[in-house]
Amino acid sequence: MKHAKKRKSTWTALWIALLLPGVAGCEAGAGSADAVRGMPSGSETAGSVPEYAISWTMHQNLPVPENAEIVRRIEQKYDVDLDIWNLENNRYESLLDLKLAQQGAPDLLRIRQPQDLLKYQQQGLLAEIPAGTLERYAPNLMAAIREYAPDYADYGRVDGRIYGIPVVNPTNAYRIPVVYRQDWLDKLGLKVPDTLDEFEKVIYAFANEDPDGDGIKNTYGLSLEGMNVVFGAFGQIVFADQLYFGEKDGKLTIGALEPEMKEALRYLRKWYADGVIDPEFITGENKGGYKHLSHAWINGRIGMTSMGNYYHWIDDGDYQAWTANAAGEISETPVEATYNVKELKAKNPSARVSFGRPFRGPEGKRGSKAYDMLMSFAAIGADAAKEPGKLEKILQILDDVSANPDLDERTTLKNGIRGKHWQWADSSRQEAVVLPPYEESANYLNTIGANIGMNVPVPPTGRRERWAATLGLDRDGIYNALEVSTPSLVRDSAELIRLRNQAYISFITGERPLEEFDAFVQAFMDAGGTQVLAEANASRAGITTAANAYP
């Protein structure tokens, strides 16, 4: 944040250089253990800690304003000036790349796509984080990763050196739901399908039997996101913003290249020709705004989808939630509809929603897309390590805002000021209740500058997650078998994804005969797929070579 506060002068910089030689990137002289564990003493002893200007990236659906009060609280606590880069989450990578070209890397860099860690490291944008420094200045964060996600502890290493702190999301244990218009099923006398054949019957009825009752042939069975459940019935996932790897006979494969995909495409090709698939599927279900909204679903064009996450599909009364009234009195009330369900019911109050298990394919396979447990990385920009003590300060702040051991302070840094923005539901202090009027804004955390840290992989215990478990969403998920990147994947993935999408769309729409599937596979492999697959398997086997940066 650019506040009117004094900046470091040349004299101050010289003073730092004289008194704090060699602090960055080393353990000696970095301060006592008490100073580290007590986390920052800068605001307590005026002038004892130099002021840093720290640029910071985070998850944002709305911009963080200049005077955001939680950011100010952090600034005062650590005697720093935080410059939050306002990068809209829907366009994060493109906006970030533009800023990187103009200004270089921010001091705290959120790498939303895990496969980009290697790319940014190769571009020289990231600072190495010495292992001892990380453990010393982010002890709570690292303890949580070791306890709850030990398999991911070393995922931020490139050539044995740490460049990223793994962000593991425990709620990604829940796969993407498979959702139906229950009111359409009821009108047509159908049930939620459990097999591919039953699904085919349902979507033909959705397209041909006027389930919305308007007398116009303007409804379809499914669009783009629902297709992944069809692919899942053959054991793979195809449409995603990354290459999805599967596993066969102990080796990694690329799902879109597997021969069983020809059979899945045969179904989709027929359905498209018969007018069962939304003809606008090529542009996707979301038409702008919040990226997890399926406008094709909300507008009543399709009767089935598999888009977004479980918390985008909560209906009125799905479970009891803690709420606060205008007077701040807290009670248990039925939860209200969210996101896709809320938007749907605003247009059609009589609409009803139901969940289904991913339908079973000819060989008994089933599954829907699941987000990687490794959600992202937190990294430190290369320039930050050039300023003595700055890397350590960033790690201290990150540890504090992400994993502060004091429950009240941690909740304040994540949710805002207690008594103003939130309050404990009861004396157990297990759940925080957002207070009016903030409960009306899903993105109020951005507007107050809270929750600027990273996810900590503590197992979820909230009512929302318990509800997701009752739906069986912790089963039948298809995860990407390769969660990190390789040099060739960095270099070639964009072109390979383009080739995949172009071919699949052409096969589905009938522009290209299915007999050319093997030709597509060969073209894909010739365009870099052969090396990508070889490096992926080498990485999986734990082989470290010059061509494979991940041990």
pLDDT surpassing 60 at residue 256 = yes
- The overall average pLDDT reported for the chain is 89
Listed in order, strand segments (DSSP E) in 87-244 are 108-111, 157-158, 161-162, 165-168, 178-181
pLDDT surpassing 60 at residue 205 = yes
User: Dihedral (C-alpha) 383, 385, 390, 392: value to the nearest 10 degrees?
Assistant: 140
Q: What is the mean pLDDT of residues 401-410?
A: 96
pLDDT surpassing 80 at residue 21 = no
pLDDT surpassing 60 at residue 498 = yes
Amino acid at the residue 176: I
In this structure, what token pair is assigned to residue 23?
A: 């602090």
Q: Provide the pLDDT confidence category of residue 44 given band limits of 50, 70 and 90.
A: very low
In this structure, what token pair is assigned to residue 258?
A: 């597997």
Residues near 132 by beta carbon (within 8 Å), at least 6 away in sequence: 27
- Percent of the chain at pLDDT above 90? 84
Provide the pLDDT for residue 542. 61
List, in order of start, the domains of the chain with CATH numbers: 10-169+377-415 (3.40.190.10), 178-369 (3.40.190.10)
**Spatial CA neighbour of 128 closest among 393, 407, 386:** 386
Provide the pLDDT for residue 350. 96
pLDDT surpassing 60 at residue 547 = no
In this structure, what token pair is assigned to residue 418?
A: 């207690």
Q: What is the mean pLDDT of residues 58-86?
A: 96
Alpha carbon distance 370, 18 (integer Å)? 52
Q: What is the mean pLDDT of residues 389-400?
A: 98
- Percent of the chain at pLDDT above 70? 89
- State which of 322-326, 459-463, 503-507 shows the largest mean pLDDT: 503-507
pLDDT surpassing 50 at residue 42 = no
pLDDT surpassing 80 at residue 382 = yes
Range from 29-33, 97-101, 386-390, 421-425 carrying the lowest mean pLDDT = 29-33
Q: What is the mean pLDDT of residues 449-468?
A: 94
Question: What is the DSSP track for 152-194?
Answer: GTTTTEETTEE--EEEE-GGGGS---EEEEHHHHHHHT-----
Range from 22-31, 397-406, 426-435 carrying the lowest mean pLDDT = 22-31
Question: Of residues 15 and 112, which shows the higher confidence score?
Answer: 112
pLDDT surpassing 70 at residue 63 = yes
Range from 298-307, 347-356, 427-436 carrying the lowest mean pLDDT = 427-436
pLDDT surpassing 50 at residue 548 = no
Task: Give per-residue pLDDT as tens, 115-135.
Answer: 899 999 999 999 999 999 999
- Tell me the angle at which helices 390-403 and 407-415 cross, rounded to the nearest 10 degrees: 100
Task: Give per-residue pLDDT as tens, 172-201.
Answer: 999 999 999 999 999 999 999 999 999 999
- Is there a contact between 450 and 416 (Cβ–Cβ < 8 Å)? yes
**Spatial CA neighbour of 237 closest among 499, 492, 478:** 478
Pairing label, strands 320-324, 304-305: unpaired
